[in-house]
Amino acid sequence: MLEKTPPRRSRSTPADVSPGRVARNRMRIAWMYYVEGLTQNEIADKLGIGRVTVVRNINEAIRQREVKIWIEGDVAECLELEGQLKEAFGFKEAVVVPEPSNPALTTKAIGVAAGMYITDNLTDDMSIGVGWGATLYESLQTLAPRQLENVQVISLLGGIVQARRYNPSEFAWQVARMVGADCYLLTAPAVVDSPETRETLIEKCGLKDVLRRAERLDMAVLSCGTMAPDSTAFRFDLLSDEDRTALIRLGAVGDILFNFYDRSGHLVDHPINKRVMSIPIEQLRDVPKRMIASGGNEKVDTLLGAVKLIDCNVLITNEATAREMLIRRT
């Protein structure tokens, strides 16, 4: 009786597809590509798999943040813009990233630079307050894991019940986990129903301790949002369309930590600013290092107001936004 020959396994099908094995294979491929400097074809030949599988694993390793790409060096045009920004706005530091070929990647490019900046500036015995948003989420890609002593990470805004990717609490926890820090959260909704509820939560639900810790921050890491319907502040239905329209009528150009302000850097007179569970804006102005990471064509006025609102002294943005800010600063 003839034995059946088992079907031949294709080069791109691994023998063991368990999650642990898949992850190990992915890391092996990433190591060979980024550390050993092998080409994709060479890796495929060594491992007996297809080149498409190699490419897919490399991309997945980056998506899973198992690979962090760190670029040293300056671009001359960006360096010149950084100097102009510091002179025009009085920033202590400015970081301008090269303009991405695809405008959709602007947020990612700024976030990558923000992660590198945070990593470079974290030290022992430091207290860092963090905001939220798409740009700061992207900073996790280059926020290098480190074990520091006596570091505190404090979320400067309450949480979003239905959000996952951009939840302020989640972002603060991720930063704290990566640097081995203690994490303190404002365990309340980002926006409550009344100023009285806000005061009750602070006084009777243990939030006063977190706010007191935020009085001793060494660095605040923030971003700012526009008044567009798809901006982070509006996509979770915490504010109605009527609220957004009313805020725009009052001159609002954006928000920091759900605090809405005009182009002159003044909080607008709207009830929402009294119902937000965040560190007080005036308190941010006392933080030694006040960083804003944000950019894009639609954010020039938003950034001009934000810079004045918190007296920002560290800005991370992209080339085109930096140029427009210099043109429209007056």
State the Cα–Cα distance between residues 201 and 138, nearest whole angstrom: 31
Q: Indicate whether 139 pLDDT > 70.
A: yes
Q: Indicate whether 11 pLDDT > 80.
A: no
**Quick one: pLDDT at residue 8?**
43
- What integer best gives the mean pLDDT of the chain? 88
Residues 6+ apart with CB under 8 A from 127: 151, 152, 154, 213, 216, 217, 218, 219
Token pair recorded at residue 64: 């899973």
- Using left for φ > 0, alpha for ψ between -120 and 50, and beta otherwise, residue 323 falls in alpha
**Quick one: pLDDT at residue 163?**
56
**Quick one: pLDDT at residue 74?**
61
pTM: 0.81
Strand ranges inside the chain, DSSP E: 93-97, 127-130, 152-155, 182-184, 219-222, 252-256, 259-262, 289-293, 314-318
Phi, psi dihedral angles at 52 (to 5 degrees): -60, -40
For the CA atoms of 160, 164, 165, 169, the dihedral, rounded to the nearest 10 degrees, stands at 50
CA-to-CA dists, residue 262 to 160, 249, 283, 286, angstroms: 24, 10, 18, 21
Give strand pairing partners of 316.
Answer: 95, 293
pLDDT, one tens digit per residue, over 230-246 is 888 888 778 889 999 99
